[in-house]
Amino acid sequence: TPVMTGSFSLPYEDLAWKNLRDAETQRALFYQIGSSVTGGAVMISVPRIELDNFQPEEVDEISGQTISFFGMLDNQTSSAATNIATSVFRVHCF
């Protein structure tokens, strides 16, 4: 079972996300909360995801798409035994 799963919704533009899913193309995902130098920010990074599902749907009366994904171990560190290497996602504070 994947340690991390999620989904995101976007306006529909073309079949690019569906094609990435069909080709089993691996991607990275980053989500940043905040951007203030004085207040700081947090970023969650998932260095290696694979798209699991592609569903066309309506989002606020606009043709949209929802893409689900699952996280995998980083292929650059998966042979190491450190906490970072065995974590599917990382939290960055700045």
- Reported as a single tens digit per residue, the pLDDT across 34-56 is 987 778 899 999 988 999 999 99
CB 5 within 8 A of CB 67: no
Instruction: Give this prediction's pTM.
Output: 0.77
- One-letter amino acid at 4 equals M
Residue 75 pLDDT more than 70? no
Residue 85 has what pLDDT?
Answer: 66
Residue 75 CB-half CA count within 13 A: 6
Q: pLDDT of 6-27, one tens digit each? A: 999 899 999 999 999 999 999 9
If you average pLDDT over residues 52-81, what whole number do you get? 83
